Structure 1
Amino acid sequence: MKKTLVLGLALMTAGSAAAQSLTGAGASFPYPLYSKMFAEYKKATGVDVNYQSVGSGAGQKQITERTVDFAGSDNPMSDEALRAAPGKLLHVPTAIGAVVPAYNVPGVTQPLKFTGRVLADIYLGKIKTWNDRAITALNPGVTLPPLPITVARRSDGSGTTYVFSDYLSKVSSEWKSRVGVGNSLQWPVGTGAKGNDGVAGVVKSTPGAIGYVELVYAKQNKLPFGSVQNRAGKFVLADNGPASAAARGVVIPADTRVSLTNSANADAYPIASFTYVIFYQDQKYGNRTEAQAKALKNLLTWMVTEGQEYNEGLDYARLPANVVSKARSIIGSMTYGGKRL
Structure 2
Amino acid sequence: MKKTLILGAALVLTTTASAASLTGSGSSFVYPLFTKVFSEYGKSGDTVNYQSVGSGAGQKALKDRVVDFAATDVPIPDADVAGYPGKVLTIPAAMGAVVISYNIPGVDENLKFNGKILADIFLGKTRLWNDAAIAKLNPGVKLPALPITVAHRSDGSGTTGVFTDYLSKVSSEWKTKVGSATAVQWPTGIGAKGTDGVSGVVKSTPGSIGYIELTYALNNKIDFGLVQNRTGAFIKPTIAGVQAAAANVVIPTSGIISLTNAAGAATYPISTFTYAVFYQDQSYSGRSAAQAAALKKMLTYTVTTGQNYSEPLYYAPLPSAAQSRARAIISSMTFGGKSF
Q: Tell me, yes or no, whether TM beats 0.5.
A: yes
Aligned position for 2:80: 81
Letter in 1 for 2:313: L
Any conservation in 2 of the 1:59–1:72 contact (CA below 8 Å)?
Answer: yes
Any conservation in 2 of the 1:152–1:190 contact (CA below 8 Å)?
Answer: yes
Q: Take 2:290 and 2:264, find their aligned partners in 1: how far apart are those partners?
A: 43
- In the TM superposition, residue 251 of structure 1 has moved relative to its aligned partner by 2.2
- In the TM superposition, residue 258 of structure 1 has moved relative to its aligned partner by 1.0
Q: Take 1:20 and 1:334, find their aligned partners in 2: how far apart are those partners?
A: 18
Q: RMSD in angstroms over aligned alpha carbons?
A: 1.1
Aligned position for 2:29: 29
Aligned position for 2:167: 168
Query: Counterpart of 1:137 in 2: which secondary structure?
Result: helix
Q: Take 2:94 and 2:115, find their aligned partners in 1: how far apart are those partners?
A: 24
Residue deviations 1:106-129 (CA, integer Å, cap 9, x gap): 111110000011011000000001
Q: Take 1:41 and 1:19, find their aligned partners in 2: how far apart are those partners?
A: 12
Query: Counterpart of 2:302 in 1: which secondary structure?
Result: helix
Q: Take 2:18 and 2:116, find their aligned partners in 1: how far apart are those partners?
A: 53
% same residue: 61
Alignment of 1:17-96 (within 5 A): 19-43=19-43, 45-96=44-95
Alignment of 1:67-146 (within 5 A): 67-146=66-145
Alignment gaps of 5+ in structure 2: 1-15
Aligned position for 1:275: 274
Q: Take 2:220 and 2:286, find their aligned partners in 1: how far apart are those partners?
A: 41
Query: Counterpart of 1:247 in 2: which secondary structure?
Result: helix
CA 1:61/1:334 → structure 2, altered by over 3 Å: closer, same or farther?
Answer: same
Aligned position for 1:305: 304
- In the TM superposition, residue 264 of structure 1 has moved relative to its aligned partner by 1.1
Letter in 1 for 2:204: S
Q: Take 1:79 and 1:178, find their aligned partners in 2: how far apart are those partners?
A: 22
Aligned position for 1:149: 148
Q: Take 2:18 and 2:71, find their aligned partners in 1: how far apart are those partners?
A: 24
- In the TM superposition, residue 95 of structure 1 has moved relative to its aligned partner by 1.2
Aligned position for 2:229: 230
Aligned length: 325
Residue deviations 1:291-320 (CA, integer Å, cap 9, x gap): 000000000000011111001111110111
Q: Take 1:156 and 1:90, find their aligned partners in 2: how far apart are those partners?
A: 24
Any conservation in 2 of the 1:98–1:273 contact (CA below 8 Å)?
Answer: yes
Letter in 1 for 2:297: N
Alignment gaps of 5+ in structure 1: 1-15
Aligned position for 2:207: 208
When normalised by structure 1's length, the TM-score is 0.94
Residue deviations 1:29-75 (CA, integer Å, cap 9, x gap): 000000000111111x1111000000000111110111100001000
Q: Take 1:228 and 1:121, find their aligned partners in 2: how far apart are those partners?
A: 14
257-266 or 150-159, which deviates more: 257-266
Query: Counterpart of 2:223 in 1: which secondary structure?
Result: coil
